[in-house]
């Protein structure tokens, strides 16, 4: 069984309903959702949007390969109406990113693990440090908590639900 940390995020529609639907989809299509961080309200990152995001990190156990997992994640995002525009950030009902897959280091044209922007994104680091403060980034060899403490991201992250 592989342990995978995922980031869930969205800022369009009924966020609570979208997150609940995402949990169901994850359990049905990806694997066993074992741990959820609190949900945080966060400003958009990398673009301007009309509303703030909700973000959360979850831990799942799965038997899927990273590539199979990515395909299933894209299918879930498509159910939410997500359309991908490479290199462009947009508002969306649900976005799911693979942050870590065990301690795997993977770099293909379609997938980079660990997610390359973890250290730069406070909206990822805050929930990651909540549920896995001592997990070490396999490339940087720093814990999630250490990366959070040294983050240059000045975004205001507010807990909005457990």
Dump pLDDT digits (tens) for 41-92: 988 766 566 788 899 999 999 999 999 999 999 999 999 886 666 666 667 8
pLDDT of residue 46: 62
Which comes out higher in pLDDT, residue 151 or 49?
151
pLDDT of residue 95: 93
Q: Which CATH number covers residue 12?
A: 3.30.70.560
pLDDT of residue 49: 66
Contact (Cβ atoms closer than 8 angstroms) between residue 40 and residue 10: no
SS3 content of the chain, % helix, strand, coil (to 5): 30, 30, 45
Distances (CA, A) of 15 to 20, 23, 26, 138: 9, 12, 16, 32
Which residues span the domain enclosing 22? 2-161
In angstroms, the CA 113 to CA 105 distance is: 5
Q: Give the chain's radius of gyration (CA, Å).
A: 15
Based on the structure, what is the number of domains in the chain?
1
Rounded to an integer, the average pLDDT of 13-21 is: 95
Rounded to an integer, the average pLDDT of 126-138 is: 97
Count of Cβ atoms closer than 10 Å to residue 99 Cβ: 24
pLDDT digits (tens, 9 = 90+) for 82-131: 666 666 666 788 999 999 999 999 999 999 999 999 999 999 999 999 99
Q: What tokens were used for 4?
A: 């995978």
In angstroms, the CA 128 to CA 143 distance is: 10
pLDDT of residue 53: 87
14-20: Cβ within 8 A, 24+ apart: 15/54, 16/161, 18/80, 18/93, 18/94, 19/54, 19/56, 19/94
Closest CA relative to residue 8, chosen from 55, 65, 46, 43: 55
């Amino acid at each position: 069984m592989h342990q995978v940390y995922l980031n869930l995020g969205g800022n369009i529609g009924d966020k609570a309903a979208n997150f609940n639907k995402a949990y169901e989809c994850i359990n049905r299509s990806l694997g066993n959702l074992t741990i959820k961080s609190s949900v945080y309200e966060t400003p958009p990152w990398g673009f301007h949007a009309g509303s703030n995001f909700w973000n959360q990190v979850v831990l799942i156990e799965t038997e899927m390969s990273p590539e199979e997992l990515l395909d299933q994640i894209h299918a879930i995002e498509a159910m939410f109406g997500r359309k991908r525009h490479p290199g462009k950030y947009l508002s969306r009902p649900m976005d799911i990113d693979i942050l870590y897959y065990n301690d795997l280091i993977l770099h293909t044209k379609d997938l980079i693990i660990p997610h390359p922007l973890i250290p730069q994104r406070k909206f990822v680091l805050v929930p990651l440090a909540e549920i896995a403060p001592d997990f070490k980034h396999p490339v940087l060899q720093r814990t999630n908590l250490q990366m959070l403490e040294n983050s240059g991201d000045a975004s205001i992250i507010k807990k909005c639900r457990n």
